[in-house]
Amino acid sequence: MLDVEGIRNDFPILARQVHGKPLVYLDSAATSQKPRQVLETLREYYEEYNSNVHRGIHALAEKATERYEAARERVARFIGAAGPQNIIFTRNTTEAINLVAYAWARPRLHEGDEILLTPMEHHSNLIPWQLVARSTGARLRYVQLTPDGRIDWTSFLALLGPKTRLVAVTHVSNVLGTINPVREMVAAAHRVGALVLVDGAQSVPHMPVDVRELDCDFLAFSGHKMLAPTGIGVLYGKEEVLEEMEPFLGGGEMIGEVTLESATWRELPWKFEAGTPNIAGAIALAAACDYLDALGREEVYRHGLELAEYALRRLQEIDGVTLYGPGPGVARGALVAFTMKGIHPHDISTILDQDGIAIRAGHHCAQPLHRWLNVPATARASFYIYNTCGDIDSLVQSLYRAREYFEYVLR
Ligand code: PLP
């Protein structure tokens, strides 16, 4: 079990008040809060060895380079990658997916090729493929979902075929909480010769993820959802696939030899890192990996699942609440999306905010999924290592207050 009280002490922001009430932060699926141990690495970098990487031959530059490259090795270990050559630092999940769309998909796909997606994708794992389809003539195909928001396996197998070049799928849905059977999907896709990109934005922060066990070709995730700062993300790629790809962006750092007419590229992974990277962000991401590994990734997952199950149970007690995604008893991510009859999710969020409770309301960058759910928007409470059942009790209490208020106003 996690020592949540001890963990909370590491997060200075959790001590603050919002509208005169203690902050109850239930929006970690959007971005997580940051512990002192991570914030300290930022301070240390900027106060003690701020310098550019790779280029300088002086003590500060050497230390910055050493810590930046050590961070890459740390991230590789965090996701079970073979080595640092598999880890490309990006700004976020979105940039990591776009890197694959531009550098792998665009030069390779043609009319007649197919990209297999699901209707539960975040726009970040949808728009890049729409752009690829538009420029190459490739076709997007969509797996059907079961009524409770899981991948319909029969539909997946029926759509998978010799035309499928890529399967791009989220590991955990940021709305439904569904955990997709990625390992089985990869095995099936590889049997027809397709590659698989896994959007790990909602899985890597919350559960053990091992790329060699999954055998996925690409994995994308964001530091800011896993205790690290904004502006640092990761693309994992299999070495042989990355080797075959041309660079995504051109500029300093990613070159070998440059003449006025042409250039050669550096070896992996630097071939894909043009310009000065987010040095402090990468170092802080390594500190976030240390923090999560010290807690135990299995423990982190179990805590999130317990909170999600408790939230499902408590929310079900409220008249007029509809819950989305798999019900209790099914493995799921640490979040719950819901609607309340007669109250728009934005109004729910506004009333909760008055009680110091931060949730998210809207389409959560998943408009096609909301169309499938037949609602314009949902409210979403999402949890992390610093949340307690007490936070969910506060949420439920505030939801009762929201309902009372609307009943009074509409009377
Ligand atoms: N994919 C999923 C499933 C997400 O939940 C998110 C963020 O909410 C993203 C991708 C995009 O992440 P970022 O905005 O950090 O690129």
Please state whether beta strands 218-222 and 233-237 pair in parallel, antiparallel, or not at all (unpaired).
Answer: antiparallel
Please work out whether the CB of residue 203 comes within 6 Å of at least one atom of ligand 1: no
Ligand 1 pocket mutation pick from 125, 174, 232 by most atoms within 8 angstroms of CB: 174
Q: What pLDDT, on a 0 to 100 scale, did the predictor assign at position 405?
A: 87
Q: Do 326 and 337 contact (CB within 8 A), yes or no?
A: no
What integer best gives the mean pLDDT of the chain?
97
Q: Indicate if ligand 1 lies below 6 Å from the C-beta of 91.
A: no
Distances (CA, A) of 178 to 123, 131, 174, 263, 337: 17, 26, 8, 45, 11
What's the 30 CA to ligand 1 centre distance in angstroms?
A: 8
296: left (phi over 0), alpha (psi -120 to 50) or beta: left
What is the best residue among 98, 124, 180, 380 to mutate for testing ligand 1's pocket, by most ligand atoms within 8 Å of CB?
Answer: 124
Check if 289 is active-site. Answer: no
pLDDT tens-place string over residues 356-395: 999 999 999 999 999 999 999 999 999 999 999 999 999 9
180 lines ligand 1 (CB under 6 A): no
Distance in angstroms (rounded) separating the CA atoms of residues 99 and 108: 14
**167 has a pLDDT exceeding 80:** yes
Whether the model pTM is above 0.85? yes
**CATH class for the domain made up of 4-30+296-401:** alpha beta
Say yes or no to pLDDT of 233 above 70.
Answer: yes
Which residue(s) pair with 252 in the sheet?
A: none
Q: How far is the CA of 400 from the centre of ligand 1 (A)?
A: 30
Would you state the pLDDT for residue 408? 79
Residue intervals in the chain for CATH 3.40.640.10? 38-293
Q: What is the pLDDT of residues 327-342, one digit of tens each?
A: 999 999 999 999 999 9
For ligand 1, the distance from its centroid to the CA atom of residue 122, given in whole angstroms, is 7
Quick one: pLDDT at residue 273?
Answer: 97
On the question of pLDDT at 406 being above 90, the answer is: no
For residue 349, which of 398, 295, 306, 406 has the smallest C-alpha distance? 398
Ligand 1, residue 170: give the atom nearest the CA. Answer: 3
Confidence band for 411, pLDDT divided at 50, 70 and 90: low
Mean pLDDT of 28-52: 98
Query: What is the position in ligand 1's atom list of the atom closest to the CA of 233?
Result: 15
pLDDT for the residue numbered 398: 98
Q: Is 8 helix (H, G, I), strand (E, B) or coil?
A: helix
Mean pLDDT of 174-193: 98
| CA angle (160, 166, 168) in 5-degree steps | 95
Q: What are phi and psi of 17, to 5 degrees?
A: -110, 155
Residues 189-196: what's their mean pLDDT? 98
Q: What is the CATH architecture of 38-293?
A: 3-Layer(aba) Sandwich (3.40)
CA 103–ligand 1 middle distance (angstroms): 20
Q: What is the pLDDT of residues 255-267, one digit of tens each?
A: 999 999 999 999 9
Query: What pLDDT digit, counting tens, does each position of 73-124 carry?
Result: 999 999 999 999 999 999 999 999 999 999 999 999 999 999 999 999 999 9
State whether the beta carbon of 124 lies less than 6 angstroms from ligand 1.
yes
Q: What is d(CA 1, CA 395) in angstroms, rounded to the nearest whole number?
A: 23
- Alpha carbons 95 and 382: distance in angstroms, whole number: 23
Task: Determine the atom of ligand 1 nearest the C-alpha atom of 93.
Answer: 16
Residue 37 banded pLDDT, cuts 50, 70, 90:
very high
Q: Which long-range contacts (CB under 8 A, 24 or more apart) does 9-18 make?
A: 10/35, 10/36, 10/37, 10/291, 11/35, 11/36, 11/386, 12/36, 12/39, 14/386, 17/356, 18/353, 18/356, 18/358
pLDDT tens-digit map of 52-87: 998 779 999 999 999 999 999 999 999 999 999 999
Residues of the chain with CATH 3.90.1150.10: 4-30+296-401
- Integer-rounded Cα radius of gyration of the chain: 22
